């Protein structure tokens, strides 16, 4: 088995001379065998080997037993050990995630924190790959899902990836390696256990060399997946712009590459892996325009030949207006007061400037800068028509989620001025105006 491990390390470039390696040590046969093998090749690779054990707070006394066993084993072997504790059931309840998913996230977070840049060696075996493949197959996984567990993922390495569980247990017997057994592994309550106890044995009856056949299968699948990944990256590079991804490029490629590219786009824009339904829905939208909800309640939008993330709705906001500089959530407005202004001077103002001039004496009560509010309307100066701001913004092509970013100035009677629209007729300057507020907005 040592030779198999060394071949896997070399083939997948898992280790370099002088590396620091943190072994994820549960105390089971797989992780104990992994620790012993790495200690055997420690001198050859000039490795610094340490271990980490995570107590999930799930299995009560049995989990306490595992921790005690690992502590004693590492002490006997002279291996530095870090132990972490978590309350997985409480965190799963809080986050709404499944127990297994939450346990995995918390365990890997602990390992990454403990590793501090070192390689993390986990004890996933060929048998684990078989079970993962079958589980993913039953859920209709894509090619990437059928590649099962990768030998290397970032700084995580899996030196036992070509060794079966039978080989690992035989290695433990031959080398007098003690280990503990998780009693939940015997229960058919878990899908993985049912696959291990019932499905895999039947496949081995069909083909006694199933382990080696499966290893060849996943090797080929990983090579195909790697090639498609490179082609997908090329598509993404051609499609990407500052404002989104060009639908023309995405529509021009084979459906296989299109779905892979869309999957990568969804994950990149939302931070979460999409399900197949999300990918298909986005692909269907590429030929038209609109919004589609994807993972985590977030949405993507196709508009103007681009695919991009739909902006979040801006929140309502309000600030009291002051003379001088007013720093607001979506820009700055400078308010300048002219207490005495002549008709002659007003006549020299350009129309653009007049649109941002307010007759101070027509203001009712306190002035407030804010976002649009329900029922807001403005009588457009010189146009003789009153319009709700929502309709006005729609006519201006301002998308609904961006409308609360538009700065509105209001008094106790209603809207006085709107950025990009100008002053309402009620507070516009006239020949009788004596005092003027001039608004200047800049980002």
Of 309, 330, 363, which residue is a domain's last?
Answer: 309
Nearest to 44 by CA among 79, 12, 10, 74: 10
Residue 175 within a domain? yes
Q: Indicate the range of 71-80, 277-286, 332-341 predicted with least confidence.
A: 332-341
pLDDT digit string, tens, across residues 184-206:
888 888 888 999 999 999 999 99
What is the greatest pairwise CA distance in the chain? Answer: 104
Both 130 and 95 in one domain: the answer is: yes
Is residue 11 over pLDDT 90? yes
Residue 229 within a domain? no
Range of the domain at 382: 318-442
Both 253 and 178 in one domain: the answer is: no
Residue 235 within a domain? no
Q: 57 φ, ψ to 5°?
A: 70, 30
Both 165 and 286 in one domain: the answer is: no
Residue 60 within a domain? yes
Average pLDDT for 345-349: 76
Cβ(227)–Cβ(260) below 8 Å: no
Average pLDDT for 145-165: 95
Sequence-distant (≥ 6) Cβ neighbours of residue 298 within 8 angstroms: 269, 270, 272, 309, 310
Of 285, 309, 333, which residue is a domain's last?
Answer: 309
Residue with token string 């508009």 = 303
| CATH code assigned at 266 | 3.30.465
Nearest to 182 by CA among 34, 87, 69, 106: 69
pLDDT digit string, tens, across residues 310-320:
887 778 999 99
pLDDT, residue 42, reads 94
Average pLDDT for 135-142: 91
Q: Indicate the range of 55-69, 276-290, 308-322, 360-374 predicted with least confidence.
A: 308-322
Q: Which token pair is 214?
A: 């499966």
Both 206 and 147 in one domain: the answer is: yes
Both 283 and 248 in one domain: the answer is: yes
Cβ(301)–Cβ(308) below 8 Å: yes
Q: Please, which pLDDT band fits residue 390 given cuts at 50, 70 and 90?
A: very high
Average pLDDT for 336-355: 79
pLDDT, residue 93, reads 87
Instruction: Measure CA 94 to chain center.
Output: 19
pLDDT digit string, tens, across residues 19-30:
999 999 999 999
Domain count for the chain: 3
pLDDT digit string, tens, across residues 29-86:
999 999 999 999 999 999 999 999 999 998 889 999 999 999 999 999 999 999 999 9
Percent with pLDDT over 90 in the chain: 76
Mean pLDDT over the full length of the chain: 92
Both 173 and 194 in one domain: the answer is: yes
Average pLDDT for 253-281: 93
Is residue 443 over pLDDT 80? no
pLDDT, residue 125, reads 96
pLDDT, residue 352, reads 80
Q: Which token pair is 340?
A: 């005495």
pLDDT, residue 21, reads 97
Both 59 and 192 in one domain: the answer is: yes
Both 289 and 426 in one domain: the answer is: no
Q: Please, which pLDDT band fits residue 135 given cuts at 50, 70 and 90?
A: very high
Residue 228 within a domain? no
Q: Residue 87: enclosing H or E segment and its boundaries? A: none
Nearest 5°: the CA angle 141, 144, 145 is 40
Residue 410 within a domain? yes
pLDDT, residue 30, reads 97
Both 303 and 377 in one domain: the answer is: no
Both 4 and 138 in one domain: the answer is: yes
Residue 407 within a domain? yes
Average pLDDT for 415-436: 91
Both 301 and 403 in one domain: the answer is: no
> How far is CA 216 from each of CA 6, 126, 221, rounded to the nearest angstrom?
18, 11, 9
Average pLDDT for 366-394: 90
Residue 227 within a domain? no
Of 169, 200, 216, which residue is a domain's last?
Answer: 216
| CATH code assigned at 92 | 3.40.50.620
Is residue 346 over pLDDT 80? no
Query: Pairing relation of β-strands 331-338 and 436-442?
Result: antiparallel
In DSSP notation, 143-185 reads HHHHT-S-SEETTEE-TTTT--HHHHHHHHHHTT------GGG
The CA-based dihedral angle spanning residues 30, 31, 32, 36, taken in that order and rounded to the nearest 10 degrees: 100
Q: Is the pTM of this model over 0.85?
A: no
Q: CA 324, CA 93: separation in Å to the nearest integer? A: 51
Q: CA 182, CA 442: separation in Å to the nearest integer? A: 64
Q: Which token pair is 235?
A: 């598509």
pLDDT, residue 264, reads 95
Both 70 and 211 in one domain: the answer is: yes
Percent with pLDDT over 70 in the chain: 100
pLDDT, residue 202, reads 96
Q: Please, which pLDDT band fits residue 273 given cuts at 50, 70 and 90?
A: confident
pLDDT digit string, tens, across residues 212-239:
999 999 999 999 999 999 999 999 999 9
């Amino acid at each position: 088995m040592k030779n198999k491990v060394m071949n896997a390390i070399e083939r997948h470039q898992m280790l370099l001379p002088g590396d620091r390696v943190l072994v994820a040590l549960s105390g089971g046969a797989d992780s104990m065998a992994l620790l012993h093998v790495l200690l055997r090749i420690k001198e050859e690779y000039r490795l610094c080997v340490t271990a980490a054990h995570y107590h999930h707070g799930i299995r009560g006394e049995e989990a306490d037993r595992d921790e005690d066993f690992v502590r004693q084993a590492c002490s006997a072997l002279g291996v530095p050990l870090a132990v972490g504790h978590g309350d997985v059931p409480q965190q799963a309840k809080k986050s709404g995630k499944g127990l297994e998913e939450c346990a995995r996230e918390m365990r890997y977070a602990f390992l990454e924190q403990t590793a501090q840049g070192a390689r993390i060696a986990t004890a996933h075996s060929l048998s684990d790959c078989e079970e993962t493949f079958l589980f993913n197959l039953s859920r209709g996984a894509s090619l990437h899902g059928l590649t099962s567990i990768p030998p290397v993922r970032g700084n995580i390495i899996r030196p036992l990836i070509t060794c079966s569980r039978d080989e690992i247990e035989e290695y433990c017997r031959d080398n007098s390696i003690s280990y503990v057994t998780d009693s939940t592994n015997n229960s058919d309550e878990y899908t993985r256990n049912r696959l291990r106890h019932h499905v895999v044995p039947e496949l081995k009856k069909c083909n006694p060399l199933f382990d080696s056949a499966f290893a060849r299968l996943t090797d080929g699948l990983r090579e195909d997946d790697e090639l498609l990944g490179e082609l997908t990256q090329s598509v993404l590079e051609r499609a990407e712009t500052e404002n989104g991804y060009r639908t023309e490029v995405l529509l021009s490629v084979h459906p296989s590459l299109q779905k892979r590219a869309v999957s990568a786009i969804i994950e990149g824009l939302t931070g979460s892996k999409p399900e197949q339904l999300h990918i298909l829905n986005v692909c269907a939208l590429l030929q038209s325009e609109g919004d589609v909800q994807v993972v985590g309640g977030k949405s993507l939008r196709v508009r103007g030949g681009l695919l991009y993330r739909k902006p979040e709705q801006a929140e309502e906001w309000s600030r009291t207006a002051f003379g001088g500089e007013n720093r607001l959530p979506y820009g700055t407005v400078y308010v300048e007061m002219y207490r005495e202004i002549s008709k002659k001077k007003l006549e020299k103002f350009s129309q653009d400037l007049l649109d941002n001039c307010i007759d101070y004496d027509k203001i009712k009560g306190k002035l407030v800068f804010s976002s649009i509010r329900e029922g807001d309307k403005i009588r457009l100066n010189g146009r003789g028509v009153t319009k709700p701001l929502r309709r006005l913004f729609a006519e201006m092509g301002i998308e609904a989620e961006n409308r609360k970013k538009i700065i509105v100035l209001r008094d106790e009677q209603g809207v006085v001025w709107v950025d990009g629209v100008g002053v309402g007729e009620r507070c516009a300057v006239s020949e009788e105006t004596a005092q003027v507020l001039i608004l200047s907005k800049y980002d």
